[in-house]
């Protein structure tokens, strides 16, 4: 009995490892690297946000895997890079990667300011007056994108940032 359960456990571990090691689907022209279909029918990769102010980032897709990191910023944008059953492998703006349960994610789009302090502009022009200053690491909500600019809501201040000034949207992605 003991040998059978050990062998089944080893076989299950090998099978799960083979599933997790499978490569991402080939990228279609114009899509981000590794883009492809998923078990949900939604594109992978794609951006989403954290639904809760406490989200466990695990080393694998399941509660038996250890928690490697705990996110504590509700609304923070993350990128889904893979799916396995009800689990999503995500990456944050600083490059941390791991697995979270799908219930901890929201389809609402968010952005995080990167680089220097940024001016949120009244209209999508570099010469437009500023409505707010956004420090690096500040999280805001993505409203829409037009060419090189995206409309955001940062702490109640609605305005425009250049795509290069934040993380959470693909280079040529159309957001409405």
Domains located in the chain, CATH noted = 35-108 (2.30.30.40), 111-167 (2.30.30.40)
Q: What is the pLDDT of residue 41?
A: 87
Nearest to 157, CA basis, from 136, 173, 134:
134
Q: Report whether 153 contacts 143 (CB < 8 A).
A: yes
Q: Report whether 70 contacts 54 (CB < 8 A).
A: yes
At a CB cut-off of 8 Å and minimum separation 6, what does 56 contact? Answer: 67, 69, 70, 100, 104
CA angle, corner 43, sides to 68 and 171, nearest 5?
A: 90
Question: How many Å apart are CA 38 and CA 42, to the nearest integer?
Answer: 6
Q: What is the pLDDT of residue 39?
A: 73
Q: pLDDT tens digits, residue range 87-135?
A: 999 999 999 999 999 999 999 999 999 999 999 999 999 999 999 999 9
Nearest to 112, CA basis, from 78, 88, 81:
78
Question: Could you give the 3-state DSSP secondary structure of residue 26?
Answer: coil
Q: Which residues of the chain have pLDDT under 50?
A: 1-35
157 DSSP 8-state letter: E
Q: What is the pLDDT of residue 5?
A: 36
Return the percent helix, strand and coil in the chain, to nearest 5.
15, 40, 45
């Amino acid at each position: 009995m003991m040998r059978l359960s050990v062998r089944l456990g080893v076989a299950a571990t090998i099978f799960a490892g083979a599933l997790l090691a499978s490569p991402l689907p080939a990228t279609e022209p114009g899509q981000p690297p590794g883009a492809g279909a998923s078990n949900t029918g939604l594109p992978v990769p794609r951006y989403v946000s954290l639904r809760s102010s406490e989200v466990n980032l695990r080393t694998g897709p399941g509660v038996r895997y250890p928690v490697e990191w705990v996110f504590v910023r509700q609304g923070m944008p993350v990128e889904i890079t893979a799916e396995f059953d009800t689990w999503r492998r995500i990456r944050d703006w600083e490059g941390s990667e791991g697995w979270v349960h799908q219930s901890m994610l929201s389809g609402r789009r968010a952005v995080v300011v990167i680089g220097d302090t940024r001016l949120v502009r009244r209209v999508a022009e570099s010469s437009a007056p500023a409505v707010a200053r956004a420090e690096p690491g500040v999280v805001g909500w993505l409203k829409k994108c037009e060419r090189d600019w995206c409309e955001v809501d940062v702490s109640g201040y609605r305005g425009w940032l250049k795509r290069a000034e934040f993380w959470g949207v693909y280079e040529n992605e159309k957001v409405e």
